[in-house]
Amino acid sequence: MLSARIIYQSASFWNGADRKFGHYNLAPCCKRLHGLLFGASRIRMLLWPFIPAYTEGMDASLQFIPIMIVGFGAALCLTPLTRQIAMRLGVTAAPNRRNIHSQHVPLMGGAAIYIAFVMSALLFSPPDHLLELGAIVAGATLLALIGYLDDRRHLSPRIRLLVMTLAALVATAAGVQIRLFNSDIIDIALTLFWIVALINAVNWIDNMDGLAAGTAAIAAGFFLLLALTQQQILVSMLAAAIFGSAIGFLIYNFNPSSTFMGDMGAYTLGFVLAILAIKLKFAAQPLNVTWMVPVFVLALPILDMNLAIVTRLLERRPLMLAAKDHISHRLLDLGLSQRKTLALLYLFSLAYGLIALIVSRAEADAARLLGGGALFALLALFCALVFARWRRGPAEDSAAL
């Protein structure tokens, strides 16, 4: 807890002080961080006497509790500050033909998500996983920086894809790899593709208040449960950090939203979720079952991205020319309100998360049967959405990313 004590002392310096950044008073935020870090350290101390001395792993498995609390509290405290800074710097999302908001909205909430994630992950980092954790934090930092620049300067897709690939390479070099084939070249290529694709998938579903943050929180929650059942400490810690950070930000991002996460937040969430899916292992299940588990947990962003890509190809539009062709837009076109649409998509994510949990625990034959049925249902839904779009005709609203 040395790192916790250092940050705690730093926050104590600000406690009660009238410190300002520009004309923004940081004292309220620092007071909250002071209490947050103090509470996190006390929780860990309180848990210690109740942990049997002969179960060292039990202490590590319980670390997700303070991690989750710190992630939630840090995001909750920092989001208002990032909102003010975004308005001062002019980093806002302007209304356009693609978006459904009608006024300028601050676009730096992702900074709160990133800082909360890094703080909560490093504060309780186990020494056995420092290399992988360091690579993950480095990759997330790189993506957060390029996300901020993109939100402010609108970088080209090539530059963004290059940086995403570089972040994926950093994680891969530290040992985060998909191992499905006996060829390192194929496995590494598949790993890079998966990470880059999921970063973009999470970014693409960030098209409605609370959708990306809520979906990421649900996915992280199921990854946490799955990791705990398999006693995977690093995965459970990362999942808890993302869960707490996303929920803390969602308080301000739920409809009607007062701030957006921007690319900074979407890239961070997508990157870590992709790594969680890779790191999750199941010793008792065959490979032809386990690959379905992370796909079901991330069913919504995967389905939405594939639907958008196929729609744009069929309508002969550039892939990077965004339009109202996502699942959320299609539900809105049916007459549903934003909150009803959000609730329906949350239920979809919860349903497939539960399927993933059942598949991971069921016998191999039963898991294959249930997983096959769930995959068929996804394919049927995909085809129905494509067919409905074809019958209605292409939408006119589009905008370059």
Q: Which residues are registered as beta bridge partners of 25? A: 20
Report pLDDT for 11: 46
User: What is the per-residue pLDDT across 30-87, written as a single tens digit (0 to 9) for each?
Assistant: 555 555 555 555 544 554 444 333 334 445 557 788 899 999 999 999 999 998 998 8
Mean pLDDT of 136-165: 93
Dmax over CA atoms of the chain, in Å, equals 66
Per-residue pLDDT at 192: 96
110-143 as b/e: b if 16+ CB within 10 A = bbbbbbbbbbbbbbbbeeebeebbebbbebbebb
pLDDT band for 22, please (50, 70, 90 cuts). very low
**Dihedral angle at the C-alpha atoms of 392, 394, 398, 401, nearest 10 degrees?**
110
Report residue 365: phi and psi, to 5°: -65, -45
Q: Are 311 and 321 in contact (CB under 8 A)?
A: no
Whether the link from the prior residue into 256 is cis, omega within 30° of 0, is yes
Report the SS3 class of residue 105: strand
What digits encode the pLDDT tens for the residues 161-204? 999 999 999 999 998 999 888 888 999 999 999 999 999 999 99
- Average pLDDT, rounded, for the chain: 83
Q: Cα separation of 3 and 5, whole Å? A: 5
Above 50 in pLDDT, residue 348?
yes
Residue whose pair of structure tokens reads 């937040």 in the numeric block: 265
Tell me what pLDDT residue 13 has: 40
**Which of 211-225, 255-269, 380-394 has the highest mean predicted lDDT (pLDDT)?**
211-225
Q: What is the pLDDT of residues 231-242, one digit of tens each?
A: 888 899 999 999
How many other β-carbons are positioned within 10 Å of the β-carbon of residue 229? Answer: 13
pLDDT value at 271 more than 90: yes
| Rg value, the chain, Cα | 21
Pairing assessment for the beta strands 321-323 and 398-400 based on DSSP bridges: antiparallel
Instruction: Name the residue among 216, 273, 248 with its Cα closest to residue 70.
Output: 248
pLDDT of residue 21: 41
pLDDT top residue among 25 and 210: 210
pLDDT value, residue 56: 44
Least confident of 109-118, 137-146, 181-190, 312-321: 312-321
The predicted pLDDT at position 326 comes to 86
CB 357 within 8 A of CB 304: no
- Spatial contact of 321 and 398, defined as CB atoms under 8 Å apart: yes
Domain residue spans of the chain: 51-283
Two structure tokens written together for 3: 């790192």
Cα(90)–Cα(110) distance, rounded to whole angstroms? 15
Phi, psi of 25 (to 5 degrees): -80, 120
Give 235-239 contacts, CB < 8 A, sequence gap 24+. Answer: 235/276, 235/279, 235/280, 236/61, 236/64, 237/63, 237/64, 237/67, 237/121, 237/124, 237/125, 237/126, 238/121, 238/133, 238/136, 238/272, 238/275, 238/276, 238/279, 239/64, 239/276
Tell me: pLDDT of 208 over 50: yes
Burial 16-46 (b: 16+ CB within 10 A, else e): eeeeeeeeeebeebbbbbbebbeebbeebee
Q: What pLDDT score was predicted for residue 225?
A: 94
Q: Report the distance separating Cα 133 and Cα 137, nearest Å.
A: 6
Give the closest residue to 174 by CA, choosing from 291, 279, 67, 264: 279
Q: Give me the half-sphere count of Cα atoms (radius 13 Å) on the Cβ side of residue 130.
A: 3
Q: Which residues pair with 92 in a beta bridge?
A: 106
Model's pTM, two decimal places? 0.84
Tell me the percentage of the chain whose pLDDT exceeds 70.
80
